[in-house]
Structure formats: structure tokens, C-alpha cells
Amino acid sequence: MNIGSRELTGGGAFRSKLLLFFLLLLFWIVLTASLALHELVMGAVCSAFVGALTVSLLGRALDPRITPSVLLRLPVFMVRLVWEIIKANIDVARIILNPRLPIDPRIVEYRTYLPGDLPRTVFSDSITLTPGTVTVELRGDLLNVHCLCPYHEEGLAGLEKLVAWLFQVKKPEVEENG
Amino acid sequence: MARDIVAGIFCCTGTFFFILGTTGLLRMPDLFTRLHPSTKCDTLGACSVIVGMAVHNGWSWDLLKLVFIACFLLLSSATCGHAIGRSALRRHIPYWKKKEVKEDGHGA
């Protein structure tokens, strides 16, 4: 169910494969911490293998939604997400350390307007990492979120806005009919 | 010296959150509520320890590796919690609900 993903033409697909290969090679160089020739050759072989495996499994090399502007916004997104995680932890810590354990768990349904697999995956991963919420099911645009306390549900919309900002998705003005 | 102190503070904070996560795991009533402390507190605990190690290590090549470890930890922890919750939901495991508390029952 890829509403937003564009069909890639031959040239674009090749460029995306090349980009994946160089990303993997860069990762290899970071891990080995050396620029010796035999290490580079081994890294190139491994990167090509992993890249080919990725393409055969997913049918494409990189999600077309990963654009340079998204990568530029990613550090800001991470900082805000980490801030949310810290707040989440202090909140959960207060609940855990409270002798009466004031929890009132429930599973709520949340319909998101984020299109495509990647923004929804990022959104549900972010939900799991933030205050009192765990995504337990993601089917289409419907998320089942387990909330520890009813007020945790209120944080979802703000998080959705943050992910929408990362991928530059506009919130649809009119409610979808049917 | 100052660097050791800062690194120690971060590592101690991480350990504290690990203890919290374990406490929550033991105190929570069912599978779904146990996901909350195990996905959140353990993630922040591990990240805090990693930050402590990064401060202790200083600017070096290993810093990049630590950043990678933290990123993969954030990704895998959230995905793992989601996978456990989803399989429990699909097996129709009932989740714990708050009972009506009697007025005289709980004197805190």
C-alpha cells in the first residue's frame, strides 16, 4: 500500500542502488576504521552482496521518500524525539515508583493521515518510544495503540505533527469520505 | 577528571533507569503494561550508558560506533516491543483493565 511512492524509472533505480551501495560501504569503513586496500575490497564485496539482497527482498534499494532534505531534518527530529523519550521516562518512572501503581490501560484506535509505509513506520516507532504508549498493531492507516493512562493518548497528535514535518506531509483539509 | 565525573553521572543515570525498568517489569500486571517499562526505561538506560561511555572516550573513531549502536538500539527496541504486542493482540490475549476501586478498600 504505497500511496505516495513514485514509480522509479531505470535511471533513478540505478542511482538509488548506487547510493545504497555507497552508504553500506561508508558504514563498513566506519566499522573497520581503516582505509587499507584489502579492507576496502572486502567491504565493496559485502556492500554489493547486502545491496543485492535488499533489492531482491524489498523490490527497491531505498525508499524514494528518503531525500536529502529529509536527512537534513533528521538530526532536529532526533533531538526532539529524544526530548520526548526523556519526558516519557520520567512519567513512566513516576507511575512505577508510585506505591498505588495508578494505571488505567486501554487500547485506542488512531487513524493517521500519514501516507506510505515509511512515515507510518517512523510514527509507530516514535509512539512506542514516547509517554505511556505502545503501538500494538499497524494495519493500513489504522493504528492500535496501548495506552498506560488515558491522558497519554493526547500526545499522539503532536507526535504525528512532528513526523509529518519530517516528511513534509500536509494534513488534508477535508475529511476523507469513505 | 571532570570528564570522568560527567561520564560517571551518565552511567549512574543509565543504571538507575535499568533498575526502574526491571521494577516496572515486576510490578506491572500483564504483558501489555510490561511492554512500557521494558521498551522505554531500558532504551533510555542503555542510551545514557552509551553517552557516558562516549564522554569517557572523548573524540575518537569509536564515538561513531557508539552513535551507531544507539541508533540501532532505538530502532530495534521499538520494533521489538511492537512485535511482541502485535503477536499478543493477534492471539487475543486479554489485557488488564482497572477494576472499580472500592472507597474503603485502598488506604494509601
CB nearest B89 (choices: A88, A132, A137)? A137
Number of domains in chain A: 2
Q: Is A98 on the interface with B (CB under 8 A)?
A: no
Domain that holds residue A27: 10-58
Same domain for A44 and A85, yes or no, is no
Domain that holds residue B29: 2-90
Closest-CA residue in chain A for B84? A136
CB nearest B20 (choices: A30, A93, A135)? A93
H or E, element range at A155: helix A155-167
pTM of the model: 0.77
Same domain for A124 and A73, yes or no, is yes
Same domain for A76 and A138, yes or no, is yes
**Inside any domain, residue B49:** yes
Taking only residues 2 to 61 of chain B, the set having a beta carbon closer than 8 angstroms to any beta carbon of chain A reads 17, 20, 23-24, 27-28, 32-33, 35-37, 39-41, 43-44, 47, 61
CATH code for the domain of B39: 1.10.287
Number of domains in chain B: 1
**Inside any domain, residue A93:** yes
Each of the 108 residues of chain B gets a pLDDT tens digit; together they read 888 999 999 999 999 989 988 888 888 888 888 888 888 788 888 989 999 999 998 888 888 889 888 888 888 888 888 888 888 888 887 777 777 554 444 443
Is the complex ipTM more than 0.85?
no
**Inside any domain, residue A25:** yes
Q: A120: closest CA among A146, A136, A137, A141? A: A141
**Inside any domain, residue B22:** yes
Over residues A99-117, the mean pLDDT reads 83
Same domain for A22 and A102, yes or no, is no
Same domain for A47 and A77, yes or no, is no
Q: Could you give the C-alpha distances from A115 to A42, A144, B75, in angstroms and in order?
A: 39, 17, 20
Cell numbers describing residue B84: 511482541
Q: A85: closest CA among A123, A129, A128, A121? A: A129
**Inside any domain, residue B107:** no
Taking only residues 113 to 172 of chain A, the set having a beta carbon closer than 8 angstroms to any beta carbon of chain B reads 124-126, 128-129, 132, 134-138, 144, 146, 148
Does B82 contact A134 at a Cβ distance shorter than 8 Å? yes
Res. A97: pLDDT tops 80 = yes
Q: Look at residue A101 and give its three-state secondary structure.
A: coil
